[in-house]
Amino acid sequence: MLAAAWRVSQRAVTFTSPLGIGRSQIRNPFPAMASLSPAAASSPKRLRVYSSANVNGDGAGSGKRVGTHNGSFHCDEALGCFLIRLTSQFAGADVVRTRDSQILDTLDAVLDVGGVYDPSRHRYDHHQKGFNEVFGHGFNTKLSSAGLVYKHFGKEIIAKELGVNEDHEDVHRLYLAIYKSFVEALDAIDNGINQYDTDQPPKYVNNTHLSSRVGRLNPDWTDPDQSPEKENAAFQQAMMLAGSEFMESVRFHVKSWLPARSIVLECLFSRSKVDPSSEIMVLDRFCPWKLHLFELEEELKVDPLTTYVLYQDERSKSWRVQAVAVAPDRFESRKALPEKWRGMRDDELSAETGIPGCVFVHMSGFIGGNKTYEGALEMARAALKC
């Protein structure tokens, strides 16, 4: 009987969501939304990883079983298993690690093994010939098992964290932003897709990214204990590492990214009140603004583009006038502050500009400062005319 050969790891760990978010001090972008509720709070907290299925269901959590392959593991199936257990359908499911097709056929979901992609049967492999599934929405990177699970369940997971319905507009915004900033890189690495189109060798080695760190959790070849139990315990660690960093990304986007986007959007719409040119934007509260500005300008087809952004320095309470870069990853400015101002400070700079209260202009012209908002605004206006 097959059951006699099935080995079950009895090691289990408590599985809790690292997202312990209460009400934020920051302005809430969801005024009708209650405090964020951890997704894992509504699901069983026990995580059990087996070497293969247990026909008698001994040690089962919710009764559901999610399969992935045994042997060396990677970040994509570790994260995929973490994510699928956050869903209502697979909350608290046991994880079965095997390549036995007869066992896989009995499981409720299968990730990264089996040679089948069929979401109607919850089969999420990406290794089979002819597989070219992508996330869509402008993303063209071939998906791994993590990307497949996120594509089909990401909105549910995010909506649970926000405490809103899946059709809430900010669920979709986060769904795209988290794929772009977190999941897509895992898909690309697992599928062997280079970050840059170049034949040149990299100038340095990066073994500190999440996929590398998950890979190092595999039992070392020098370890005398190469048992399935040891491997399964390591896979649990991999799930927790990948999952905790995913949830940290969600927390960042909820607590920081969305409020910042809301602030930048509001300030972008107010540019005409600052200056008739509509090329000067004032942040009434400082926040990370650069990437949001580029994305919103593209999304809203803004014309004219923003040339300078003004904001108050929290420490000195003076004001900054910063030239907007030509692109998020470029140092060149759309219009740097005038060359004749660069490198000057204080009274010398005020004399040159004819504007009281000047503090400095950087040698590259990408940023300058003034003691007052009015002075910073005059610097920006004067720079536009140069």
Write out pLDDT tens, residues 171-223: 999 999 999 999 999 999 999 999 888 888 888 999 999 999 999 999 999 99
Where helices occur in the chain by DSSP H, the ranges are 75-84, 101-104, 145-162, 169-178, 184-190, 210-215, 228-252, 258-269, 271-274, 290-300, 346-353, 373-385
- Note the pTM of the prediction, 2 decimals: 0.78
Is residue 124, in this structure, part of any structural domain at all? yes
- Residue 68 identity: T
Q: Do 130 and 160 sit in the same domain of this protein?
A: yes
Is residue 128, in this structure, part of any structural domain at all? yes
Measured in whole angstroms, the distance separating CA 94 from the mean position of its chain's CA atoms is: 26
pLDDT at residue 228 greater than cutoff 70 = yes
Q: Do 221 and 123 sit in the same domain of this protein?
A: yes
Q: Do 153 and 279 sit in the same domain of this protein?
A: no
The answer to whether 95 touches 48, Cβ cutoff 8 Å, is: yes
Q: Do 218 and 330 sit in the same domain of this protein?
A: no
Is residue 16, in this structure, part of any structural domain at all? no
Question: What is the percent of the chain with per-residue pLDDT over 90, rounded to a whole number?
Answer: 79
Is residue 18, in this structure, part of any structural domain at all? no
Is residue 36, in this structure, part of any structural domain at all? no
Q: How many folded domains does the chain comprise?
A: 2
Q: What is the pLDDT of residue 200?
A: 87
Q: What is the pLDDT of residue 62?
A: 58
Q: Do 77 and 115 sit in the same domain of this protein?
A: yes
What is the pLDDT of the chain when averaged over all its residues? 87
Q: What is the pLDDT of residue 59?
A: 45
Is residue 379, in this structure, part of any structural domain at all? yes
Q: Do 284 and 147 sit in the same domain of this protein?
A: no
* Tens digits of residue pLDDT in 326-345: 998 889 999 999 999 999 99
* Tens digits of residue pLDDT in 107-155: 999 999 999 999 999 999 999 999 999 999 999 999 999 999 999 999 9
Average pLDDT score over residue span 253-278: 96
Q: What is the pLDDT of residue 1?
A: 34
Give the confidence band of 46 by pLDDT, cuts at 50, 70, 90: low
Q: What is the pLDDT of residue 52?
A: 61
Is residue 43, in this structure, part of any structural domain at all? no
Is residue 42, in this structure, part of any structural domain at all? no
Q: Do 173 and 239 sit in the same domain of this protein?
A: yes
Instruction: Give me the domain span that covers residue 168.
Output: 65-194+205-254
Q: Do 166 and 127 sit in the same domain of this protein?
A: yes
Q: What is the pLDDT of residue 336?
A: 98
Q: Do 327 and 220 sit in the same domain of this protein?
A: no
Q: Do 313 and 228 sit in the same domain of this protein?
A: no
- Secondary structure element (H or E) that encloses residue 66, with its range: strand 65-68
Give the confidence band of 6 by pLDDT, cuts at 50, 70, 90: very low
